[in-house]
Amino acid sequence: MFDKILIANRGEIACRIIKTCRRLGIPTVAVYSDADRNALHVEMADEAFHVGPPPAARSYIDMERILEAVRRSGADAVHPGYGFLSENPRFAAALEEMGVTFIGPPREAIEAMGDKITSKKLAAEAGVSTVPGFMGLIGDADEAVKIAREIGYPVMIKASAGGGGKGMRIAWSDAEVREGFEASRNEAAASFGDDRIFIEKFITNPRHIEIQVLGDRHGNVIHLGERECSIQRRNQKVVEEAPSPFIDEATRRAMGAQAVALATAVNYHSAGTVEFIVDEARNFYFLEMNTRLQVEHPVTELVTGLDLVEEMIRIAAGERLRLGQEDVTLSGWAIESRIYAEDPYRNFLPSIGRLVRYRPPLEQAAGPLAEAGLWHDPAAPRGPSAVRNDTGVREGDEISMYYDPMIAKLCSWGRSREEAIGVMADALDNFDLEGIGHNIPFLATVMDHPRFREGRLSTAFIAEEFPEGFSGNRLSEARLGMLAAAAVAMHRVAEIRRARISGRLDNHTRHVGNDWVVRIDGHEWRAHVDSADAAGSDITLEGRHYRVESPWRPGQHLAHLRINSTLLTVRVDRHPLGFRLRHRGADLVAEVLTPQAAELARHMLEKTPPDTSKMLICPMPGVLVRLMVEEGEAVEEGQPLCVVEAMKMENILRAERAGKVAKINAGAGDSLAVDDVIMEFE
């Protein structure tokens, strides 16, 4: 076994690898940029070495800097995590020349599978079914249009060295191919230093399903079942689960056999993932092979009881696989929600800033991983279901614009899919996160969505179910009624506390009434507090009785409530007229008024927002990469105006209506903040 492992990565995955190394008794070495000097992974590791300034290209992707850290640390093995140098064959070769073990597959396999064109040819030769497409490199936009016409629309434009949804576009017309080709090539060059592009047929209503494989250095290869990764936005996975609600046993065996055949064909060892596109008839087509640990690996761990990082380390050390294909069993159901620093109310645009409050739900252990004694937190209480949070941040940390916006991977395990979804929904409600825009409300809405609960998924799920963007979950009237009762109960607690404040004048005792009017999301209820005791309140709302019990006190951000027989967790903040309540993806204001105040409120004028229709406002923090119009130029609806880059993604901002550019307030290379006015129109 290794004496010391350097982790050539940062954030969540670096912390994840350190946890397994600690359990195995292996010292670890972290690397960090200027931006990560005080990061959690640096604190957790036994040693740490500085590798450069914040931009990844000058630190985490700078191979010479990482190799120098390996030399200085004396590490005899390197785990690359995912992203950065994890799929760079030159990095694996350089470590080999130094006599340092690369905890990953052989460089030849990385090279073969890292090029999407080469990998498809090898897959076809190994008997793996592939998507129809053009396997050669494409020189320019005209050639791209010609090829797209021959394949037939729609087509998928992809970066040959791509991953993580970068350098990828769907095109339905010649114009979209031209625009998508240039955008994909620019994005690919910026992200991977490789602007090669290819095109393949886009399968409509597809599912993205992948097979986890494990191979050792002795020629043994097995698969660990599938993961469903169809909930995607911009080709970036958002929610994953294992197993898939769509795949039957026969399809699982067939997909697994093809994944093993491909891994065997390239002499693969270590953990790897073979990704497939699956159509409505369960026909599946090879997409790509990721020669590294996947972001979503925890869901496989939760249903198999295997620590994939440990398996990678043991394989790299020369050990044989400790189980055969017949030993692999899938138990229960696991779901992963990727918590991103992006604002779903602003079309999921990146958000940066400080984590003013970061209180994830408490982890709890259950299922195969707990039975195998591999739970990352040995102190996590045991229960019928599990919650796991893989993260690389803590309260007070800053989310910068230099790296991937993922904050944490929240995972749940249950004995059934229904139970796993319920555990995840509760865990999301219990995640207290403030200071930046984040996608927890959106994730909670997905968990609550009937189509998701039924398992009717495709990679177009988000586009189809949220065509106008995300504006919050719409709760049922029954759930709104429970929140209204909760608001009355909490308001009563807060009012009694205020009534008992010390230092009052004599004979000025404040009376807390029992009659209130509650207004939430356009609904209004007349409420009466029938009785109250130390445990809770009995409240009648429009003739319906609610018993509300909660230990909540003013100032607490999470309220744990029992309303009749239902347990709820609600995030609570004060509002001038009541509370801001966040629950199950809904962000609501609950006004709790006296009957007289409610009557007067009906006569108040509503404040109208300012008119910004003649402005192009920056929707995210980022860098203005390119201006595509000039002052005085007439523009048409939908015309591209500029490109803003944020968190490694290019975002094209377009004209909402026809007009004329009156003034441009920023230039290429300028850093922009949210709501900066980039240009104005006549």
For residue 505, give every residue at least 6 positions away whose Cβ sits within 8 Å of its Cβ, in sequence order, or none: none
- In the chain, CATH 3.40.50.20 sits at 5-103
Residue 152, pLDDT score: 87
Q: What does the block give as tokens for 108?
A: 């030849």
Q: What does the block give as tokens for 464?
A: 């189809």
One CATH from 3.65.10.10, 3.90.550.10, 3.30.700.30, 3.10.310.10 for 477-499+512-601:
3.30.700.30
Question: Residue 515 to residues 34, 341, 493, 527, 566: CA-CA distances in angstroms?
Answer: 57, 42, 14, 6, 24
Average pLDDT on 351-377 reads 93
Q: What does the block give as tokens for 438?
A: 């984040």
State pLDDT tens for residues 381-424. 999 999 999 999 999 999 988 888 899 999 999 999 999 999 99
Say if CB 335 and CB 360 are below 8 A apart.
no
Q: Would you state the torsion angle of the CA atoms of residues 335, 341, 343, 344, taken in this order, to the nearest 10 degrees?
A: -10
Q: Give the CA angle between residues 550, 556, 562 to the nearest 5°.
A: 20
User: Which residues belong to the active site?
Assistant: 288
Average pLDDT on 218-226 reads 97
Report the C-alpha gap between 324 and 339 in whole angstroms: 34
Average pLDDT on 272-292 reads 94
- In the chain, CATH 3.30.470.20 sits at 117-131+207-330, 333-458
Confidence of residue 502 (pLDDT cuts 50, 70, 90): low
Residue 450, pLDDT score: 96
Residue 118, pLDDT score: 85
Domain topology for 615-681: OB fold (Dihydrolipoamide Acetyltransferase, E2P) (2.40.50)
Residue 498, pLDDT score: 80
Average pLDDT on 491-514 reads 75
Residue 98, pLDDT score: 97
Report the C-alpha gap between 586 and 463 in whole angstroms: 19
Checking if the pLDDT of 103 tops 90, the result is yes
Say if CB 489 and CB 527 are below 8 A apart.
no
Residue 603, pLDDT score: 85
Report the C-alpha gap between 111 and 94 in whole angstroms: 14
Q: Give the CA angle between residues 221, 333, 274 to the nearest 5°.
A: 30
Average pLDDT on 336-356 reads 91
Confidence of residue 608 (pLDDT cuts 50, 70, 90): confident
- Position of tokens 């979503």? 296
Residue 117, pLDDT score: 77
Confidence of residue 131 (pLDDT cuts 50, 70, 90): confident
Q: Which one, of 166, 261, 266, lies nearest residue 211 by Cα?
A: 261
Residue 190, pLDDT score: 78
Residue 510, pLDDT score: 65
One CATH from 3.40.718.10, 3.40.50.20, 3.40.50.2000, 3.40.640.10 for 5-103:
3.40.50.20
Per-chain mean pLDDT for the chain: 93
State pLDDT tens for residues 253-277. 999 999 999 999 999 999 999 999 9
For strands 640-646 and 622-627, give the pairing.
Answer: antiparallel
Report the C-alpha gap between 611 and 180 in whole angstroms: 32
- In the chain, CATH 3.30.1490.20 sits at 133-201
- Position of tokens 């640096």? 42
Confidence of residue 210 (pLDDT cuts 50, 70, 90): very high
Checking if the pLDDT of 429 tops 70, the result is yes
Average pLDDT on 365-384 reads 92
State pLDDT tens for residues 228-245. 999 998 888 999 999 999
Say if CB 548 and CB 532 are below 8 A apart.
no
Instruction: Specify the CATH architecture of the domain 133-201.
Output: 2-Layer Sandwich (3.30)
Q: What does the block give as tokens for 193?
A: 């230093």
pLDDT > 90 in the chain, percent: 79
State pLDDT tens for residues 521-537. 889 999 999 998 888 99
- In the chain, CATH 2.40.50.100 sits at 615-681
Checking if the pLDDT of 506 tops 70, the result is no
Q: What does the block give as tokens for 392?
A: 């690389």
Say if CB 344 and CB 441 are below 8 A apart.
yes
Checking if the pLDDT of 12 tops 80, the result is yes
- Number of H helices and E strands in the chain, helices first, is 18, 39
**More confident position, 648 or 430:** 430
Confidence of residue 636 (pLDDT cuts 50, 70, 90): very high
Residue 65, pLDDT score: 98
Instruction: Specify the CATH architecture of the domain 333-458.
Output: 2-Layer Sandwich (3.30)
pLDDT > 70 in the chain, percent: 98
One CATH from 2.60.40.1180, 3.30.470.20, 3.40.710.10, 3.40.50.1370 for 117-131+207-330:
3.30.470.20
Q: What does the block give as tokens for 255?
A: 């997909």
